[in-house]
Amino acid sequence: MHLIDRYLPTYHFSETHARLVSAPPAAILAAVAAYRAETDWFFRVMIRLRESPARLVGRRDAGRAPFNLDAFTLLARNEGEIVHGLIGRFWRLDFGRAPVADGADFLAYDQGDAAKLALTFRTHPHSDGRTRLVTETRVACPSRSARWKFTPYWYGIRPVSGLLRRRTLAAVARDSERSACPARAATAAGSP
């Protein structure tokens, strides 16, 4: 059983991506924890596009930081997996986020008009000695109304979301491989 199964065992939407990484699980999960999506130009452009309707109608708070992975709450972590959660009405201009303090708060939340999203990064040993890094996103919409509102949003964002997840996996792989083998990273970068 994976950690994500504790927080979102049943769901209506999901997306999974994977990549082989030449680093141990600890280095990979450290790179996941340190990763900042806003350093990726593509992420910044896509978030600006997503938030542009709210800006056009003056609904985005000028002092609020743009949406990024810091909006997620760490739900749980062990030696092979990290799970983050987010609750909201993502189809709304302002994302309709509900505050979530921790894993217990995420589990206890039961308002049917909001979707629950769990995002996990987990590692598995691969037969060739590398580590398979998997990212999975699950979304549960507890009411028919929430599913009806979330469905078109999901199909609109899913292609971009998938590309962002693959870019995240590539960045995490690069960073964890550098930290796991600094000499090899220096040689690849052209250092003596």
Residue 11: C-alpha distances to residues 127, 146, 165 (Å): 31, 12, 19
pLDDT tens digits in sequence order for the chain, 192 residues long:
899 999 999 999 999 999 999 999 999 999 999 988 778 877 778 777 777 665 666 655 544 444 556 789 999 999 999 999 999 998 988 888 899 999 999 999 988 899 999 999 999 999 999 999 999 999 999 999 999 999 999 998 898 888 989 999 999 999 999 987 754 544 445 544
Residue-range domains of the chain with CATH = 3-59+69-182 (3.30.530)
User: How far is it, in rounded angstroms, from Cα 106 to Cα 86?
Assistant: 8
Q: How far apart are CA 85 and CA 76, in angstroms?
A: 9
What residues contact 151, with CB distance under 8 A and at least 6 apart?
none
Instruction: Read off the amino acid at residue 107.
Output: L
3-state secondary structure of 60: coil
**pLDDT for residue 111:** 86
Helices marked H in the chain — which ranges? 3-7, 25-34, 41-56, 103-108, 144-180, 182-188
Q: Which residues contact 43 (CB under 8 A, 6 or more apart)?
A: 37, 68, 164, 167
pTM of the model: 0.83
How much is the CA Rg of the chain, to the nearest whole Å?
18
**188, amino acid identity:** A
